[in-house]
Structure 1
């Protein structure tokens, strides 16, 4: 009896790549924050990273009271350098270091009908040429109230984005990009992974010292386990003198939901080598992609 050899599937990650998460400490001075980020991106690139990730709100303090004063217009693109220094700083970081740069997030201001202003929490991804590749506006706003622990309502200032964001990183393949609270909604990740064939999900985020120890690592592992791809979470470093205390602990998780590397709360760079063969090994060994029962439940990626 002859045996049928399964046809090899193309690798989602076309060739191995080093990804780095830059866990930054940012203060009130935007220009200083941008210069500091540029130095750290250069350091990550010098260490061999070809994909570099910055944290949520890396150019400003994190907080509803700061969003309007630090916000920059991003449309029409490219915006003027004098009104949008963060856009141009990120483009230069990517170009000067020849990397794909997932630029954390920055506060964005957009005018509606030339009058009303809306604010967004927005992530920009640039290619090695310095060209803008993708824009993600945070879809799920961080509105929580844990009595006696933390209350935070981004919706008091921010508007929500309305799209799943995936971006083609040239010779490597496609990644999904979302921001912080977006990670708690697995549908977003499933669409990016299954519909768009991403090899990684990347979340700039700023969990706090209440939610961080509870769910930060768990959410990263859960999204990796659900989708059998890499997941990277990039946090600001913790500043106990600030009004909002970030958890830190930037991490990278492999397709079997194992944490490859994790920071502490201090400023640092963590990195890992990603390999497309690891994705295929996970999916062949535990074949979720062939065992889903869309006759029983809907396929959210359709």
Structure 2
């Protein structure tokens, strides 16, 4: 387990254009009687980011998640973030579809009980939720509060249909149906923007979460491949933090899950200035790293670098093309 304190970093210029893409997706807010997190800045909140190597055994993966949750609770963590496909990674095509369940099914109910028993919020990235038909699932990021209730969920929008150079061909859409709803959730740890893995390569989603829906913390549970992780993982995460002036919490799968699949690892937490403030010392180990999120830092960075006031791309711009 590792813990890091906030530090300064070199400034890097930011702000990508926000999106006409917003019109293609619905936005589902979640308030549930809670005051807006952006309205008040309280004491720093201790959060944890998990790293694990999920396998094709639901019970074994739950045992790992349960152990890490209890260890994190003992360390004072109030919000623990798990990686994509935390509950199951199969070795055969279609295995996860057969195991897929609704969010009120027995697998997720175990995790709801775990959150309640631990008195902790859980971010569960990439759950195999039962899909619209028997041949498809949703890749769903589930947020559970400390009473054990599912506070909200986000179905992954961008599916990983990629031929990774020197690796293998992935076709996530073969068994997974894409979501179409952007989700931000108020919580005691700030306003959370929910995403999953491959979403990371599409900055307009994060721009929408920040500038249209006031996210302060972006969650990126992932299972990056070894090849793409080595090339792009930290760079993309730091870019999203800098562009949006948000904390980024990126829980990662690590190591070999089976003969066919290997993940990069390197679970990290990044502050709104783009500084890595927590990561596991070993990129492939199972464990968690801890940081204290201070929302006053979000406000300070945004005040000193007021990109929300300087953005122009929501306006109608003329364009010129030449043949």
1:120 shift after superposition: 1.1
Aligned length: 277
Q: Spell out the pairing of 1:289-300 with structure 2 (5 A cutoff).
A: 289-293=308-312, 294-295=314-315
Q: Is the 8 A contact 2:255 2:262 kept in 1?
A: yes
Unaligned runs of 5+ in 1: 1-9, 79-83
**3-state secondary structure, aligned to 2:136:** strand
Q: Which runs of 4+ in 1 moved over 6 A?
A: none
Task: Measure, in 2, the Cα distance between the counterparts of 1:297 and 1:282.
Answer: 28
Q: Is the 8 A contact 2:189 2:293 kept in 1?
A: no
The equivalent of 1:205 in structure 2 is 222
Q: Is the 8 A contact 1:109 1:117 kept in 2?
A: no
Matched, 1:266 2:285: yes
Q: Spell out the pairing of 1:17-166 with structure 2 (5 A cutoff).
A: 17-61=45-89, 65=93, 66-74=95-103, 78=104, 84-112=105-133, 116-166=134-184
The equivalent of 2:17 in structure 1 is none
1:70 shift after superposition: 2.8
Task: Measure, in 2, the Cα distance between the counterparts of 1:288 and 1:64.
Answer: 46
Matched, 1:167 2:167: no
- Which of residues 253, 260, 277 in structure 2 aligns to 1:243? 260
**3-state secondary structure, aligned to 1:266:** coil
The equivalent of 1:188 in structure 2 is 205
1:46 shift after superposition: 1.3
Q: Is the 8 A contact 1:64 1:157 kept in 2?
A: no
Distance 1:271 1:86, change over 3 A: same
**3-state secondary structure, aligned to 2:182:** coil
Distance 1:14 1:194, change over 3 A: farther
Task: Measure, in 1, the Cα distance between the counterparts of 2:65 and 2:87.
Answer: 8
Task: Measure, in 1, the Cα distance between the counterparts of 2:250 and 2:183.
Answer: 16
Distance 1:125 1:242, change over 3 A: farther
Normalising by structure 2, report the TM-score. 0.80
Q: Is the 8 A contact 1:207 1:235 kept in 2?
A: yes
1:63 shift after superposition: 6.2
Cα deviation digits, residues 74-120 of structure 1 (max 9, x gap): 3xxx3xxxxx33211110121011111111222122345xxx54311
Normalising by structure 1, report the TM-score. 0.86
- Which of residues 198, 205, 225 in structure 1 aligns to 2:242? 225
Q: Is the 8 A contact 2:143 2:151 kept in 1?
A: yes
Q: Is the 8 A contact 1:11 1:276 kept in 2?
A: no
Task: Measure, in 1, the Cα distance between the counterparts of 2:183 and 2:90.
Answer: 22
The structure, 1 or 2, with the larger RCO (C-alpha pairs under 8 Å, 6+ apart) is 2
Of 197-206 and 236-245, deviating more is 236-245
